[in-house]
Chain A
Amino acid sequence: MIFPSSYSIRSKWWPPTPETPSTCLSLRESQLLGNENKDEDENVYEFIIWSCVGENFCCFKAKTKLETFCRNRYNLSGICRRKLCPLANSQYATVLEHRGKCLLYMKTIERIHTPNKMWEKIVLPDKYSDALKMIDEKLQYFPKMTINKAKQRLTRIRQYLMRMRRMKLTVQPKLVRVNKKVERRERKRENRALEVAKIEKSINNELVDRLKSGLYDGFYNFDQEEFEQMLDKIGAKYEEEEEEKEKEKTGGSTFVIDEEAENEMEAWGKSPKIWDMEDLVDDNYDKKMKKLKKRKKGKPKFEIEFEQEVNQQQQREKN
């Protein structure tokens, strides 16, 4: 006499077909139960496992206040329940995703004792309708709940895969942590560094140095009134000088200084002391700049000429 136990299932012939009637039940009863294809011993096996696992400790069980979850990879819906437990069901199927491909995993009682080969993996076709058909085909003799759950799971997986693909096309903002401590520290350090740098002071010093070196010979920003006053003063001086020169040149024919001649004189270096901005742009300027290791400055945009003085001079000479 065989005493039924966990192991005696191994000895029975498998797989069952719908034609083979179960010994204990009438066909209608078994259909109602949904256990048409299950043998006695299989039920016992499942019962034993569920009494050990479902009610007592199971390493995959995750209990919360409202719900008990199953962390087993092969669970169809992630909830710890008798009909959904991949351990307590001798016949089980799931849909899992691997690298974008949906796979149908099937487990039957014959393979339970070879954990290596327990799960039969079938790649589901890419087309949704074909995949559903395949599930129907492969899980023909599985309980209806399994088929429905497998299809639902497939749908969910496909949905999230679509979402993933769509997301990859967009640029996702990268969320970076704001470390309060670090931020606070860095801000303080920045402020301190600013203070210590004393930018204004250093700029000031630099400018003064340049002034002292003579870079800005004549580069002064004066009030216009003041500037003209200065010009007047300087103009008077110039007239005096010119008179003296004339006195020296006695008995000679007086020559009218043309503009061209003036220019030539300037070119020769005998430039009259005119407050001409152009003069200030001399070669020495560049050298001075290089000394100070600063950038070259371009020519100033405006020039001031003492045309009045020249005219006066010309007039006098004419006279």
Chain B
Amino acid sequence: MTTQQLRPIVSVFPIKGKVKTIKQVPLPSVFSAPIRPDVVRFVHTNMAKNNRQAHAVSTTAGEQTSATSWGTGRAVARIPRVKGSGTGRSGQAAFGNMCRGGRMYAPKKVWRKWHRKINTNQKRYAVCSAIAATAVTPLVMSRGHRVNKLPELPLVVSDQLQSLTKTRQAVKFLKFIGAYRDVEKVIRTKKTRVGQGKYRNRRHVLRKGPMVVYARNLGIKKAFRNIPGVETASVYTLNLLKLAPGSQMGRFIIWTESAFKLLEDIYGSWEKPSKFKSGFYLPRPVMVNTDVERIIKSDQVQTVLRNRRPRSRKYGKKIQRADPYEDMSVMLKLNPYYKTKLQKQKELEEKNKEERKEIVDKSRKEYEDWLYFSEEEEEEEEEGSDEDREIEVLSDEN
């Protein structure tokens, strides 16, 4: 049908020689399943609980005393206290979660619900999403896989890979195809576990490397077993915990050709149900076109909408206005007379300046005149006093 006709094509690569497409295979419908990180997260968190082992605190812990409260009137807290004497323990508080040597708050019980049931369809939805995400390069990159040198994503490889028996061959293949960089990352970042797990048989922590998915195990499992970070899985039993480790979609997967083809049968499509999961069709997206912004702004929608009501200034956004006193162009827009006003002001100033200058000069001159005049007066006085003159006059007379 149309879907199949329009389905894109994926290249199949050999395991040695040259990195060239030997064959082309149509892309299974699973890769077009909706990518739903919320579904994957929900299913993953619950699935991860399913491999837990029961643990609890001893039922008698903190209870193995015959302590009784002393009651009121003894100037001590009313908590039960250990009976007896002759030992340091006597009189000490017991039983409470706040007491030293007391029982914990809500002691853990073995009959806690350790496992979670998840609806089968939900589980399958999550797996489909996760598989679809493995074909999206940005998602695989964002998960941290080093996939820059790959010839294609999803990476499909000839069935000869399934018959590899030696680890050396497996490593050679990974290097050939450009997937070894991811393995190198794993080797490089191997560390001792932080915390008590290190002496509980969980000493080392490794990153996740590439996952190799096969249809038939003809030795491939053992070949890739010892390579750090690399996991193998059969197509028939793909585990969400491995497809989306940490509920983070986008594991780097290397498919074998037959495994890749089988995906179509295992997960079916929207028209054809799955052959292995009875009655299962691929999940449909809730919305066909999720670009809501675009829908709203489309002509078809906009023509039907009523006109926009005038926005109330009170609750409107603050409009950033340019300051007219900073920007002349804005000022002139608002008040075109401003320019002439400035000019006139300038002229006035200049005129005033001249007038002012005249006044200033005049007053200065006057001041100077006064200065000089006063000096002359002083000199005249110094020359002679009246008495001398009188004497001279007298002498003349004589």
Chain B 276-318 interface mask (CB, 8 Å, partner A; 1/0):
0000000011001111011101111010000000000000000
Size bracket, chain A contacts:
35 or more
Give the residue among B2, B7, B31, B141 with the most A Cβ atoms within 10 A. B141
User: What CA separation (Å) do A222 and B289 show in the bound complex?
Assistant: 116
Q: Is B152 part of the contact surface with A, judged by Cβ < 8 Å?
A: yes
Instruction: Give complex CA distance A60, B31 in Å.
Output: 25
Contacts of A11 in B (CB 8 A): 6-8
Contact between A5 and B35, CB atoms less than 8 A apart: yes
- The complex places the Cα of A59 from the Cα of B185 at a distance, in Å, of 13
Docked complex Cα distance between A88 and B139 (Å): 9
A112 to B153, CA, bound (A): 9
Chain A 25-40 residues near chain B, CB threshold 8 A: 25-26, 29, 33, 35, 40
B297 to chain A: closest residue by CB: A29
Which residues of chain B are within 8 angstroms of A88 by Cβ–Cβ distance? 138
Shortest Cβ distance from B283 into A: residue: A3
Determine whether the beta carbon of A112 is less than 8 Å from that of B27. Answer: no
Report yes or no: B150 in contact with A116, Cβ–Cβ below 8 A.
yes
Q: Which residue of B lies closest to A29 (CB)?
A: B297
Tell whether A204 is near chain B: CB-to-CB under 8 Å: no
Contacts of B290 in A (CB 8 A): 4, 44, 47
B32 touches A5 (CB 8 A): yes
Say whether, besides A24-B294, A44-B289, A47-B290, A52 and B249 are in contact (CB < 8 Å): yes
Q: Does B148 contact A (CB under 8 A)?
A: yes
* Closest A residue to B1 using CB positions: A1
Question: Which of A4, A40, A60 interacts with B285 by CB under 8 Å?
Answer: A4
Q: Would you list which residues of chain A between 105 and 146 have a CB under 8 Å from chain B?
A: 112-116, 118
Cβ–Cβ contact B136 & A6, under 8 A: yes
- A51-B37 contact given A3-B270, A4-B285, A116-B149, CB 8 Å threshold: yes
Establish whether residues B151 and A7, one from each chain, have CB atoms under 8 Å apart when the complex forms.
no
Pair A59/B32 contact, Cβ less than 8 Å: no
Shortest beta-carbon distance, B293 to chain A, in Å? 8
Known: A59-B142, A112-B137, A112-B138. A3 touches B297 (CB 8 A): no
Closest to B137 in A: A112
Known contacts A56-B37, A59-B143, A116-B148; 18 additional CB pairs below 8 A are A1-B2, A3-B34, A4-B288, A4-B290, A5-B132, A6-B31, A6-B133, A7-B27, A24-B298, A24-B299, A40-B289, A44-B289, A44-B290, A48-B35, A58-B142, A114-B152, A115-B150, A116-B150
The 4 closest A-B pairs by CB, nearest first: A87-B138, A59-B144, A10-B8, A5-B32
Chain B: residues with CB nearer than 8 A to chain A? 2-3, 6-8, 27, 31-35, 37, 132-133, 135-139, 141-144, 147-153, 178, 246, 248-250, 270, 284-285, 288-291, 293-295, 297-300, 302
Residue contacts A-B, CB under 8 angstroms, 29 given? A2-B2, A2-B3, A3-B32, A3-B34, A3-B270, A3-B285, A4-B288, A5-B34, A6-B31, A6-B133, A7-B8, A11-B8, A24-B294, A24-B295, A25-B299, A29-B297, A29-B299, A33-B293, A48-B35, A51-B37, A52-B35, A59-B141, A59-B144, A87-B142, A112-B138, A113-B135, A114-B153, A115-B151, A118-B137
Q: Which residues of A contact B (CB under 8 A)?
A: 1-8, 10-11, 24-26, 29, 33, 35, 40, 43-44, 47-49, 51-53, 56-60, 87-88, 112-116, 118
